[in-house]
Amino acid sequence: MKKNNYFSFQLIDDKLTFLDQTKLPFEKSYIETDDCERIAKAIEKLEIRGAPAIGVAAAYALALSIKNSIKEKINSTFELAYRRLSNTRPTAVNLFSALEEMEKTYIQNKNTDNLYGVLKNKAIALHNDDIDKCHRIGKNGLAIFKKKSNVLTHCNTGKLATAGDGTAFNILKMAFEKGLVSFVYVDETRPLYQGLRLTAFELEQNEIPFSVHTDSMAAVLMKEKKVDLVIVGADRIALNGDTANKIGTYNLAVLCNFHDIPFFVAAPTTTIDRTIPSGEEIIIEYRKKSEVLSHRSMSIASDSVEVFNPAFDVTPSHLVSGIITEDQVYLFPYNFIK
């Protein structure tokens, strides 16, 4: 496989072609569809995942719902598609901001003859905007490096999680290219192994040296002074800087605080939820217990075992050294009201 020869999703010939991330790294399988329901299921099943990617993919799905609708049922089709997509995953705010942008465009143009074309162009604009945001996040993130560093990261924040080159991952990539990153430590990210399956895949594709460890080993790495800083992504950020990200992120922030290691969050401004003052208002998604009790459809424990399986946790803002957006690097105390 050629270096960087992959993408998370693209609109090709009026169909969304997306990489089924549940099959990585063993199989690079692309699915092609113009069916809104199929895209909604892909988001729910984590075939498409990552807060920015979910938002843009949902925008394409809304546009495609109109492409396949008869004229007399366009209003009801749009409403049903909007409702279906908004119910796929509750935590990532990018999903809802993208749907709202599409709804505004729909309301303003619903009497236009080429409504699908208008909505498609809006979705493409959102896609291009995220590509630009990812690039600017990467550039802004270079400022946090004071020396050549070993960096620890959690979950997946690269091309697979966004419409562009990634958030936290893009910072790692750009910093590595400039000689600012020596090595990357990757949390496996239980229970779905996004670090082991996806971030490891992307690091290999970009020829960045790394190793994978179980989530519970991060403290030892820090104690042995092998980690200079931690960079993670985010699915929703409150106005005070409280940050929801993949389960296990809060653990890392606490460990960084204890070991005096900088802990940074990288995310586009579309991940900032300006309607909530703190993380207390963030809705956390809980997922089925089979994700913990099995691996690749093979049981590793009895189904009778009770499971606690939140998909995300919330890191208090005072544990976050800085939040890197496409605009700037914000420092504590955070104030995003502009």
Residue 325 lies in a domain: yes
Which CATH number covers residue 127? 1.20.120.420
Residues 113 and 250 in one domain: no
CB atoms within 10 A of CB 46: 18
CB atoms within 10 A of CB 178: 11
Residues 129 and 172 in one domain: no
Residues 165 and 309 in one domain: yes
Residues 131 and 214 in one domain: no
Query: What is the C-alpha separation between 38 and 32, in angstroms, rounded?
Result: 10
Q: Which domain holds residue 319?
A: 139-331
Residues 70 and 157 in one domain: no
Residues 165 and 304 in one domain: yes
Each residue's pLDDT, cut to its tens digit, for the chain (338 residues) gives: 446 689 999 999 999 999 999 999 999 999 999 999 999 999 999 999 999 999 999 999 999 999 988 888 999 999 999 999 999 999 999 999 999 999 999 999 998 989 999 999 999 999 999 999 999 999 999 999 999 999 999 999 999 999 999 999 999 999 999 999 999 999 999 999 999 999 999 999 999 999 999 999 999 999 999 999 999 999 999 999 999 999 999 999 999 999 999 999 999 999 999 999 999 999 999 999 999 999 888 899 999 999 999 999 999 999 999 999 999 999 999 876 55
Residues 128 and 184 in one domain: no
Q: Per-residue pLDDT tens for 144-193?
A: 999 999 999 999 999 999 999 999 999 999 999 999 999 999 999 999 99
Domain count, the chain: 2
Res 338: pLDDT: 53
Residue 1 lies in a domain: no
Mark whether 235 is an active-site residue: yes
Residues 305 and 189 in one domain: yes
Residue 46 lies in a domain: yes
Query: What sign results for the dihedral spanned by CA atoms 292, 44, 249, 154?
Result: positive
Residues 25 and 120 in one domain: yes
Res 336: pLDDT: 67
Residues 304 and 230 in one domain: yes
Residues 129 and 163 in one domain: no
Strands 149-153, 181-187: pairing is parallel
Residues 276 and 143 in one domain: yes
Domain end residue (candidates: 97, 113, 135): 135
Domain end residue (candidates: 135, 152, 169): 135
Domain end residue (candidates: 101, 135, 169): 135
Tokens 């401004």 belong to which residue?
Answer: 269
Which residue is catalytic, options 235, 242, 273, 313? 235
Res 21: pLDDT: 97
Residue 2 lies in a domain: no
Supply the pTM of this predicted model.
0.94
Please report, as a single letter, which amino acid is at residue 26: F
Contact assessment for residue 78 and residue 106, using Cβ atoms and an 8 Å cutoff: yes
